[in-house]
Structure 1
Amino acid sequence: MNTVSTLTRPGASKKQAASVEFRNVTKNYGGVTAVDSVSFTIDAGQLVTLLGPSGCGKTTTLRMIAGLEMASAGQILIGGRDVTNLSAADRDVSMVFQSYALFPHMSVLENVAYGPSVQGASRKDAEAMAVEKLSLVGLSGLERRAPSELSGGQQQRVAVARALVLEPQVLLFDEPLSNLDAKLRRRVREDIRELQQSLNLTVAYVTHDQEEALAVSDRIIVMSNARIAQTGTPRELYEEPADLFVADFIGDANILAGTLTGVEGASADVKIDGLSVRLPHRGAKPGAVKLAVRPDAILLGEGASHGSAIAGRVKKASYLGTQIEYDVETATGDLFVVQYGRKEPIEPGTSVNVTFETHRGVAIIPGA
């Protein structure tokens, strides 16, 4: 794959980031439609994540950007140039694969320096660039090892460094952190994000990890059954899900039944059991509605319910250090609740009154 035409070394000019656009792109495998008439734009210099469950079409979409899969219909543009029918070698992109794909006969340093070397950098420059990126992903001191002498997580980080050492028009990541432990995953994703922003790179990033997507993305494209379910910023997707699938998939959500009793301007009054709340109506009409309520938007008060609240009983309490998680039984259904900062859990069996922080994490689901 032709990954870069201008190398990042002293005196090298920086290329302009390129946009990526899909126009009604479809990919068929025989009688199976893997991607169904998908349209979106990744603006130049943005990191956009394709997020969804296994089999939703996100990796096939990424591979069509790379030219590793050819579209059955529609048009793909990179930097305004139609690349729909161009091979991977004719697209200025670089990809980190879910598999490691390292050269077994080369050292770690040689693997990472290979791209700059074949693109014309001197051995000294190529190795200096490789050393810098290996430090970035936490592999300093392992430069002379063979891939077979590394753990799976270390091999994946070599693959990340090998892509980061080049500055393509578009950088693609397919589940790049899946083999790292939680602490390293956080560090490497932060490094990827920092590098993307400092170099103004256009990045398409595939993951099934919602926390990872929320942490690194300018925008997220949520896919379901080969189509786009919703596109938006992390905050928009979390706080204003377009449908039940997005509400349930992005983070944890309690899906509750309520009754919309009246609309005034952009707001609506909604009754859920004994609790009345005012929320943006999002196009909903008076009558039955569904609400997405995030676990950390639920407040628990000990004692019998009073006033505008939902009566509940704690079924289970789990202490997780930074937070306490509860299962709370109510007449409207069981609730999953997360509280931060509290040191002593509410004991199971305790009666509680349930209210919501409606300014965040509570939304009417349109059309549900």
Structure 2
Amino acid sequence: MAKAPASVEFRHVSKRYGVVTAVDDVSFTIEPGTLVTLLGPSGCGKTTTLRLIAGLEMASEGQIMIGGADVTRLSAADRDVSMVFQSYALFPHMSVIENVAYGPSVQGVPKAQAREMAAEKIAVVGLAGLENRSPSELSGGQQQRVAVARALVLEPQVLLFDEPLSNLDAKLRRRVREDIRALQQELNLTVAYVTHDQEEALAVSDRIIVMSNARIAQEGSPRELYEQPADLFVADFIGDANILEGVLEEERGDRGLIRVGPMTLDLARRGAAAGPVKLAVRPDALAISLAGQGRPGIEGVVEHSSYLGRSLEYRVSSALGDLFVVDAGRAQVHPPGSKVHVGFAEAGIVVLPNR
């Protein structure tokens, strides 16, 4: 019978290496049966945080709880967690079933029972029939599934993923992330997942913890982070944003009239007071058309255009500075040098809280 999923809680956890602070006074809770992603640029502390959950690093300060039990001083072997590494770390000389059965065997489970446990998890990840293949005979996506099966075979309270898709090509990444999400939901697993890829984080997560400079910049649901970023860093890191200067000229309850260049926009104030404000404008909140056409906006000149199949990307110079525009319509390609009108939608424009 599978174990119940466990919560993970950090209480004011810090990790220092000499004078370098890799994780700085971090507190969060991962609810049982949810997938929470630690997201951020290289060096922000996300992988160290994952290794602190696993017991591969020991906290310098603070308390780490798993399933309500204090594991702060427990070794990795004494914590009921499993990790799927970026490199998969499969044994090349062992078959698929031998790789998956390795963990139970090391823990003293009889060989026949260990293979039975392994076969069950191999079936769960969709690799039944490939038990006797060697890792070199498998695709990258299949190797990733073997690594997941090996992590699942001991039925840990918490499953950890460290950049699990970084070795896969773009199309396979999408498929495997869907597989991981479906498995997590089907088996009701508690998962902590590390990535630097914001699209990946938005696709798989119940909640996202965005890290910057060893601290938590913001945490919330994918939609909350995209639509209500706490600051300039989060707005720019999740989903790209044009950061524009504006002036809040009139407060109207929770909303305000904000002047941006020649335009006046009616937007949610998000606590901002009258005076200078910064706006995060999503690239898909901008619409590009021939100069003088379209909704209220600003004139500009196309500096660069890229055709990406599903969309066109433009860099447009304007009185507001360079604007990054994503046009999903693809009705017309505007070559560099074209004079264009950049229209502003109401959705996708967010006032950044004053900090």
Fold similarity call, TM over 0.5: yes
Q: Which residue of structure 1 aligns with residue 352 of structure 2? A: 365
CA spacing shift, 1:312–1:106, aligned 2, 3 Å: same
Indicate yes or no: 2:113 matched with 1:122.
yes
Spell out the pairing of 1:56-95 with structure 2 (5 A cutoff). Answer: 56-95=44-83
Distance 2:161 2:315 in 1: 36
CA contact (8 A) 2:291 2:299 kept: no
Q: 1:208 aligns with which of 189, 196, 210?
A: 196
Aligned length: 352
Q: State the shift of 1:103 in Å.
A: 2.1
Q: Does 1:263 align with 2:238?
A: no
| Cα distance in structure 1, aligned partners of 2:199 and 2:295 | 36
Cα deviation code 1:249-276 (max 9, x no counterpart): 1121111111111111111111111121
TM-score (norm 2): 0.92
Identity in percent: 69
Asked whether 1:38 is paired with 2:26, we answer yes
Q: 1:356 to 1:28 in 2, by over 3 A?
A: same
Q: State the match for 2:123 in structure 1.
A: 132
Q: Distance in 1 between matches of 2:64 and 2:178?
A: 29
- Asked if the contact 1:311/1:354 (under 8 Å) is kept, the reply is yes
Is the 2:141–2:176 contact (alpha carbons within 8 Å) kept by the matching residues of 1?
Answer: no
Partner of 2:323: 335
The corresponding residue for 2:132 is 144
Tell me what 2:284 maps to: 296
Q: Which letter maps to 2:273?
A: K
Name the counterpart of 1:219.
Answer: 207
Most deviating of 24-33 and 309-318: 309-318
Q: Alignment partner of 1:122: what SS?
A: helix
Q: Which runs of 5+ in 1 are unaligned?
A: 1-12
**Conserved? CA contact 1:310–1:353, under 8 Å:** yes
- Deviation of the 1:241 alpha carbon: 1.1
Contact 2:279 2:349 in 1 (8 A): yes
One-letter amino acid of the counterpart of residue 363, structure 1: V
Could you say what the CA RMSD is over the residues aligned between the two structures, in angstroms? 2.1
Structure 2 partner of 1:171: 159
Question: Residues 17 and 76 (structure 1 numbering): CA distance in 2 closer, same or farther, change over 3 Å?
Answer: same
- Aligned twin of 1:6: none
Q: 2:273 matched to which residue of 1? A: 285
Cα drift, residue 297 of structure 1: 0.9
Secondary structure class of the residue paired with 1:334: strand
Change (3 A) 1:306 1:15: closer
- Summarize the Cα distance change of 1:249–1:153 in structure 2 as closer, same or farther, 3 Å threshold: same
What are the superposed Cα offsets for residues 275-313 of structure 1, whole Å, 9 maximum, x if unpaired?
A: 211111111111111111111111223222688421222
Q: 1:91 to 1:177 in 2, by over 3 A?
A: same
Q: Deviations for 1:3-43, whole angstroms, at most 9, x for unmatched residues?
A: xxxxxxxxxx2321111110000111111111111000111
Partner of 2:173: 185
Unaligned runs of 5+ in 2: none
Q: How far did residue 160 of structure 1 move? A: 2.7
Match of residue 4 from structure 1:
none
Q: Distance in 1 between matches of 2:148 and 2:118?
A: 16
Question: TM-score normalised to the size of structure 1?
Answer: 0.89
